[in-house]
Amino acid sequence: MPHAETLPLAAPSLTAVLFGLSGCLVDFGARTRSHGSHTAEHAEVTPGALDSLRSLQHQQIPCAWLDELPPVLSHSLATALPEWIKSSQHPATNNPWPAPHACWQALMLLNVERLDGCVLVSGEPRLLQSGLNAGMWTIGLASCGSLCGLAPNEWQALTQQERELKRGKATVQLFGLGVHSVIDHLGELDTCLADISLRRFKGEKP
């Protein structure tokens, strides 16, 4: 008799995955938003981002990114991302985060027929709240989002204890929003998505 935890193979596949852009797929620390400027360094992909996207593409799970930055700035940040991932621009003046409209618009762009099985991944609390308001599963990113707000070199310069303290504080804040899972960065996304699939298999709803 197999243990219950061996059942994820029977778990329903995900419907779609939305990503924040700054502080999630690119721009470790979400510094573009706080600094109001863009450099080539900000456009660097975050740890695990490209592997996560390749894995989702292999599973034929549609993906899109969204952000509230001006379109010229956000598309400049997204230059290192694969061309197949769709971009969803939602005017910040029109139902801004944490209203759910931006998430719903992105799902409509992907031609998604149902909300069930849709996941939002972000390090930005307001976008995560938007995903929660939209009825989506949500995954918060502790280290690379705006709550830590450090450049990669600044993050690496911290001691292990300092990183754990910042990561822990961000994790508490994200769970305080009501997000369903918190991971450090996108290198841990595959395992987290498998866990959400298992939770859905067991009947849990977002």
Q: Report residue 39's pLDDT band, with 50, 70 and 90 as the boundaries.
A: low
**Does residue 206 lie within any of the structural domains?**
no
* Domain CATH number, residue 112: 3.40.50.1000
**Does residue 37 lie within any of the structural domains?**
yes
CA distances (Å), 108 to each of 52, 63, 153, in order? 22, 12, 37
Q: Which domain holds residue 83?
A: 16-201
Residue 14 DSSP symbol: P
**Does residue 83 lie within any of the structural domains?**
yes
**Does residue 44 lie within any of the structural domains?**
yes
pLDDT in tens, 66-99: 998 888 889 889 999 999 999 997 666 678 999 9
Round to whole Å and give the CA distance between 120 and 206: 11
* 21: nearest Cα among 108, 101, 72, 88: 88
Give the dihedral of Cα atoms 103, 182, 166, 177; nearest 10 deg: 60
**Does residue 9 lie within any of the structural domains?**
no
The pair phi, psi for residue 115, each rounded to 5°, is -80, -25
**Does residue 96 lie within any of the structural domains?**
yes
* Tokens, residue 203: 């009947």
**Does residue 103 lie within any of the structural domains?**
yes
Q: How many domains does one find in the chain?
A: 1
pLDDT in tens, 161-194: 999 999 999 999 999 999 999 999 999 999 999 9
pLDDT higher at 89 or 151:
151
